[in-house]
């Protein structure tokens, strides 16, 4: 397909250099060199360097090691985030109209990149499954990839594939729509949760400018789960809505499953009951649709359980032709890494007992980052899994006053809500509340 507009073509290395200049110009704090914002920006622009190294087979090993090191720094930064009490407002080196214009322009460039590049094999395979679902045909046996989509993905893609006659056009439209959902979600987080529309524009603009977004612009299965997670964060006051969105995210890709314990602990007893009901509702609807559209039991298993691919996630042998950090010499070390991951998951679920939105966002991002360390193939390259959540943590002010609506009555919560930079609310003196996971 001819490039659009004619003559438009940007190599990955050129995209990195151009975006680096823009990011430093707009977001770097020149008057406060030793600041947390500059440290976060350094980590964000360091990650795409590993993606560039991974593209070359000669430097792939160095690239995966680089990505693991950057992911480790991300994880330490996220785990230490609740301890960082001072969160001064650091604005951008650009006013609000300029940020809006840059955001729209960057989205236009990203859209052209998605149009020129075309769909990835994983997206094309999922759209083919969606077309089979619409037409009522039997599943077509295709070559499996190292990262398959879940049973919800074909259901969400079916309307897109039905509207577009050409599957390739549907894949491009789905990629653009997924990134648009992330952008709108980040803007709403800034406006509704941070109380600053410009912070939302800043997060959306930085998301579009980062090279990792352009490198994986067509990976809808990577972007859509993170978009649904961001929207669950926007609707955090409604456990049913957040549960439905996270349930859909879990059905698209496997990694949001590990977020469920932390979110359930965040909501408390009554909120967790509504949250779990929403998850069961999504699971029931998906299984019901799969049962009604499957011609046989084998097809039903392939559309549901067969999409999880537990044997690949727990395998100690990388698929043929796939590169990654876990080579045959290092694969045995994945066992303590997996054990450490589940210990971290348990610790973030139980501590702190009373969670606010600060703990929820940092813990959610940390859990997704931690999955990169034990995934058997191409670990560390899936930056779009956690990039939106990471940007929320980087740009957030103090949010200790934002707690789940189920914990307090709405009127009581408004009376007891401290300022953005205020202290944490007083702990309950009840022994059962101090020791129980759910409030």
DSSP letters, 53-105, are HHHSTTSHHHHHHHHHHHHHHHHHHHHHGGG---------SS-HHHHHHHHHH
**Residue 240: CB partners within 8 Å, gap ≥ 6?**
274, 275, 277, 278
Chain Cα centroid distance, residue 113: 21
pLDDT of residue 179: 92
Confidence of residue 251 (pLDDT cuts 50, 70, 90): confident
**3 pLDDT more than 80:** no
Q: How many CB atoms lie within 10 A of CB 369?
A: 26
pLDDT tens-digit map of 337-362: 889 999 999 999 998 888 888 889 99
Exposed, middle or buried: residue 397 (CB in 10 Å: 0-12, 13-18, 19+)?
A: middle
Residue 284, CA atoms < 13 Å, CB-side half-sphere: 6
Q: What is the pLDDT of residues 131-173, one digit of tens each?
A: 555 555 554 444 444 555 666 666 666 666 555 555 667 777 8
Cβ–Cβ contacts within 10 Å for residue 378, how many? 20
Its pTM stands at 0.82
Which H, E and C letters describe 94-133, residue by residue?
CCHHHHHHHHHHHHHHHHHHHHHHCCCHHHHHHHHHHHHH
96-129 exposure pattern, b = at least 16 Cβ within 10 A, e = fewer:
eeebbebbeebbebbbbbbbbbebbebbbbbbbb
Under DSSP, is residue 323 helix (H, G, I), strand (E, B) or coil? Answer: coil
Q: How far apart are CA 314 and CA 377, in angstroms?
A: 11
C-alpha–C-alpha distance, residues 46 and 40, integer Å: 10
Distances (CA, A) of 213 to 7, 79, 256, 393: 22, 24, 19, 18
DSSP state of 164: -
Mean pLDDT of 96-116: 88
**Cα dihedral across residues 283, 289, 294, 295: positive or negative:** positive
Residues 6+ apart with CB under 8 A from 347: none
**In this predicted structure, what is the pLDDT of residue 365?**
95
DSSP for residue 43: H
Q: How much is the CA Rg of the chain, to the nearest whole Å?
A: 22
Measured between alpha carbons, how far is 231 from 20 in angstroms, rounded to an integer? 28
Using CA atoms of 64, 69, 72, 73 in order, give the dihedral in degrees to the nearest 10. Answer: -140
Mind listing the pLDDT tens digit for each residue in 283-339? 888 777 766 666 656 655 655 654 555 555 555 555 544 556 666 666 667 788 889
CA–CA separation, 383 and 212 (whole Å): 7
Q: Which residues of 259-274 are buried (b: 16+ CB within 10 A; e: fewer)?
A: bbbbbbbbbbeebbeb
In percent, how much of the chain has pLDDT > 90? 35
In the block, which residue shows the tokens 């690949």? Answer: 312
């Amino acid at each position: 397909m001819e490039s659009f507009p004619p003559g438009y073509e940007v190599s990955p290395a050129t995209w990195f250099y151009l975006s680096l200049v823009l990011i430093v110009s707009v977001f770097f704090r020149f008057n406060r060199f030793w600041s947390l914002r500059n440290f976060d920006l350094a980590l964000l622009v360091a990650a795409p360097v590993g993606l560039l190294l991974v593209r070359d087979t000669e430097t792939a090993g160095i690239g995966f090691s680089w990505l693991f090191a950057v992911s480790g720094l991300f994880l330490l930064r996220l785990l230490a985030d609740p301890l960082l009490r001072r969160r001064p407002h650091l604005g951008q080196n650009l006013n609000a109209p300029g940020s809006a214009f840059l955001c729209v322009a960057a989205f236009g460039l990203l859209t052209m990149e998605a149009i020129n590049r075309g769909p990835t094999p994983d997206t094309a395979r999922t759209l083919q499954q969606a077309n089979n679902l619409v037409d009522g045909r039997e599943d077509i046996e295709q070559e499996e990839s190292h990262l398959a989509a879940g049973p919800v993905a074909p259901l969400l893609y079916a309307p897109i594939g039905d509207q577009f006659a050409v599957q390739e056009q549907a894949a491009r439209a789905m990629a653009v729509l997924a990134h648009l959902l992330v952008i709108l979600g980040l803007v709403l987080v800034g406006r509704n949760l941070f109380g600053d529309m410009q912070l939302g524009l800043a997060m959306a603009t930085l998301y579009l400018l980062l090279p990792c977004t352009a490198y994986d612009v067509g990976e809808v299965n990577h972007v859509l789960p993170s978009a649904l997670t961001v929207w669950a964060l926007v609707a955090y006051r409604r456990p049913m809505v957040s549960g439905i969105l996270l349930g859909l995210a879990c059905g698209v890709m496997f990694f949001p499953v590990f977020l469920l314990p932390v979110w359930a602990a965040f909501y408390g007893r009554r909120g967790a009951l509504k949250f779990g009901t929403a998850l069961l509702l999504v699971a029931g609807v998906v299984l019901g649709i799969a049962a009604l559209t499957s011609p046989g039991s084998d097809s039903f298993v392939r559309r549901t359980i067969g999409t999880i691919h537990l044997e690949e996630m727990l395998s100690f042998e990388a698929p043929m032709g796939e590169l990654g950090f876990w080579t045959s010499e290092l694969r045995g070390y994945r066992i303590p890494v997996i054990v450490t991951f589940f210990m971290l998951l348990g610790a973030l679920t139980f501590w702190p007992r009373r969670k606010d939105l600060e703990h929820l966002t940092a813990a959610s991002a940390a859990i997704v980052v931690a999955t990169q360390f034990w995934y058997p193939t191409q670990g560390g390259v899936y930056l779009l899994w956690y990039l939106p959540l990471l940007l929320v943590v980087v740009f957030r002010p103090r949010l200790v006053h934002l707690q789940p609506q189920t914990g307090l009555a709405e009127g009581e919560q408004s009376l007891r809500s401290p300022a953005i930079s205020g202290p944490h609310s007083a702990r309950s003196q009840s022994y059962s509340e101090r020791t129980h996971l759910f409030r």
